[in-house]
Amino acid sequence: MDKKPLNFLAVEILEGQIKVPLTYYMSGPNIGTAPVVLINHPLTANAIFSGVDGWWSEIVGPSKVIDTNLYTVISFNIPGNGIDSYKWKSIEKIHTGLIAKLFINGLKKLGITDLYAIIGGSIGGGISWEMAVLSPKLCKHLIPIASDWKSTDWVIANTFIQKQILKNSKDPIVDARMHAMLLYRTPESFSSRFARSENEYKKIFNVESWLLHHGQALKNRFTLDGYLLVNHLLGSINILRNNQNFDTLIEPISAEIHLISVDSDLLFIPDEDKSTYNRLKKLQKKCFFYEINSVHGHDAFLIENNQVKTILNTIFKN
């Protein structure tokens, strides 16, 4: 079967003796018998990437683009995201670099020393960048999707507003999620879908009904602490947090770097990836830039499955 239960590890943080539980999901051949792919999940998703409950089941599974007949595929939950029972004492000093260290330690504990690919969408792509910098020889392919190696001022500003909503609203998860959906989609996406139509039963616009649905759906499956954590992490992406030099950090990375943007992304705008691509080329890195064409904005990497498949087929040539 493609679906397997969540497993548990206790992983030590490198800077101290704190042990953090990692939950992970794995599909495909046993470790050591096939190339390994690590998937870092998006903001409010989880480690279950395939099967009936998988958030990326169109892409990962038996005979899919990332074929679990050929690859051992693994994903860790971001600890504290509500899937496990772990809760950080304080999230203010937690950042995506620390999560990347935990994931690297988790791989070591599982006996995994090298990866065919690290792939991640949105915040998962930021964690993927952080892992590549911390362990430059870890993977053959680095594939950040709709993401960046840094949280721009725009991302920081929006996560700040999300934090204010989460801390001050009477219905924090619902309200924060409704605001976030405006970042994940575009005006064109809303117009093409709703066309100012009204819900006659609820006596509100259909776009309002849709926003309320998404807010309530997240509230039903997510915790406030989990949302506060992942929102905080989204604003913390920064491979240069210790005042290091971009060129110096990138030079040791041996992976082919595949930057996948969405042309209408309002959160991680494609111009940032284009700038990174040009910097990588100057460093003579083997890198590629792909663009998903869509009216749907940031979430297009979860919607435009045919385009995603076409791009990934060039990397996972089965």
- pLDDT tens across 202-218, in order? 999 999 999 999 999 99
* Phi, psi at 145, each rounded to 5°: -120, 130
- pLDDT tens across 209-246, in order? 999 999 999 999 999 999 999 999 999 999 998 878 99
CATH number of 153-234: 1.10.1740.110
CA dihedral (27, 130, 126, 124) in degrees, to 10, reads: 20
Mean pLDDT of 297-312: 97
Q: Could you tell me the end-to-end alpha-carbon distance of the chain, in angstroms, rounded to an integer?
A: 20
CATH number of 7-152+238-313: 3.40.50.1820
Q: What is the pLDDT of residue 83?
A: 82
Quick one: how many helices (H) and strands (E) in the chain? Answer: 11, 12
Does 17 have pLDDT greater than 80?
no
Does 1 have pLDDT greater than 50?
no
Burial class (CB in 10 A: 0-12, 13-18, 19+), 214: middle
Domain with CATH 1.10.1740.110 in the chain: 153-234
**Would you say 294 and 307 are in contact if contact means Cβ atoms under 8 Å apart?**
yes
- pLDDT tens across 142-152, in order? 999 999 999 99
Q: Nearest-5° angle of CA 11, CA 14, CA 19?
A: 35
State the chain's mean pLDDT as an integer.
Answer: 94
Does 315 have pLDDT greater than 70?
yes
Domain with CATH 3.40.50.1820 in the chain: 7-152+238-313
Q: What is the pLDDT of residue 2?
A: 43
In whole angstroms, what is the distance from residue 271 CA to residue 41 CA? 23
pTM to 2 decimal places: 0.95
Q: What is the pLDDT of residue 3?
A: 43
Q: Name the DSSP class of 300.
A: H
Beta strands in 91-221 (DSSP E): 115-121, 139-145, 198-199, 204-205
Q: What is the pLDDT of residue 10?
A: 75
Q: What is the pLDDT of residue 5?
A: 63
- pLDDT tens across 78-106, in order? 999 988 888 898 999 899 999 999 999 99
- The residue count of the chain comes to 318
In whole angstroms, what is the distance from residue 102 CA to residue 210 CA? 36
Mean pLDDT of 101-117: 95
Q: Which residues contact 145 (CB under 8 A, 6 or more apart)?
A: 119, 120, 121, 122, 124, 125, 260, 301, 308
